[in-house]
Amino acid sequence: MISKDGSLNELLLLLLSKKGQYVSGEEISARFGVSRTAIWKQVNHLRQVGYEIDSLPRVGYCLKKSPDLLLPEEIIAKSKLTFLGRKIYYYPATASTNEEAKKLAGEGAHHGSLVIAEEQTGGKGRMGRVWLSPPRVGIWMSIILRPVIQPYEAPRITMTGAVAAAKAIRERTGVTCHIKWPNDILVEGKKVAGILTEMSADIDGINYVVMGIGINVNNDDFPGELKEIATSLKIAKGEAQDRLDILTGFLFRFEDYYNCLEAGEFKKILEEWRLLCCNLGRRVRVVGRNFTVEGIALDVDDDGALLVRSENGRVERILSGDVSL
């Protein structure tokens, strides 16, 4: 049930496919070749995890309500995906899904595998920062990809992720959000989601890319100075939001855009990115590891670089940094 190896609970999948309907013990026994006692045990295990399952003698079992968990079976039951999520590794808690994903990718995990945790105890943000990931309030997930592109094109994957995340948030919650360069998602000027992409490549090209995404969904507040810069969809809407719905919305969008990317249609994604971006045409201050540039953000190019016309009229091409204006 709580699977770290990507295996699925077939009984749960069956009950989910018939949610609200009774499934007879006879049908379950016949389908899985297990005894009635074994089914009873499994049903009780599901109840312990938080599933509300009715049972009626001689009628069967009926799944009434699911717990608020991002279980692989729930994701599969709620989405029609082709390559994404063919394998889903689920952790009640882990240090960082990006770290787990890199380990799994190194061991040969498939293109499209997902690594999801309810809590991260060592969540990582961009530029060595910490990503706060408390239990059961957010979407903390990494996607393992094996793209057939050159390493310098990898930022396109992150941009694809940002467009998919912004679209899914808008569609599934109605919250108006924007992309802040490079790929932060903001709501009313505060960060609601971020993406950390890590890559393993050698002379022959990319071995794998791990794209980690964190979405603050139901956080009630943020500690210390994060209060000023971070928000959640619950705070924005004034009520709790459905994590599973947002997650499946994101996966649906990401798969669709990723197929465009593979088909050589990055221009289409870039166009969407530009429309969602809140920096273009505005004054920005970009702070990098050892530089600061101020000026007007003119555009973003195919490599995800920000083009800024600085005070002296020169156009700077910035590959990484933080926009602070």
Residue 319 CB, shortest distance to ligand BTN, in Å, is 16
DSSP-assigned beta bridge partners for residue 133:
120
Q: CB-wise, 123 or 147, nearer to ligand BTN?
A: 123
Closest approach, Cβ 183 to ligand BTN, in A, equals: 7
Closest CB 166 distance from ligand BTN, rounded Å: 14
> Which positions from 83 through 112 interact with ligand BTN, judged by CB under 6 A?
96-98
- b vs e for 204-219, b when ≥16 Cβ sit within 10 Å of the residue's Cβ? eebebbbbbbbbbbbb
Regarding 231 and contact with ligand BTN (CB under 6 A), the answer is no
Q: Smallest Cα–Cα separation from 253: which of 166, 132, 131?
A: 166
Position among 126, 136, 268, 285 found at the interface with ligand BTN (CB under 6 A)? 126
Give yes or no for residue 123 binding ligand BTN (CB under 6 A).
yes
The residue behind tokens 């920000």 is 306
Residue 136 lies near ligand BTN (rule: CB under 6 A): no
9 binds ligand BTN (CB under 6 A): no
**Distance from C-alpha of 65 to C-alpha of 20, rounded to nearest angstrom:** 8
Applying CB under 6 A, which of residues 196, 235, 251, 269 lies at the interface with ligand BTN? 196
Of 211, 208, 215, nearest in space to 194 by CA: 215
**CA end-to-end span of the chain:** 46
Give me the least distance between CB of 76 and ligand BTN, in Å please. 20
Distance CA 187, CA 280 (A): 17
SS3 assignment, position 223: coil
Min CB(230)–ligand BTN separation in Å? 10
Residues that bind ligand BTN (CB under 6 A): 96-98, 120, 123-126, 129, 131, 133, 140-142, 184, 194-196, 212-214
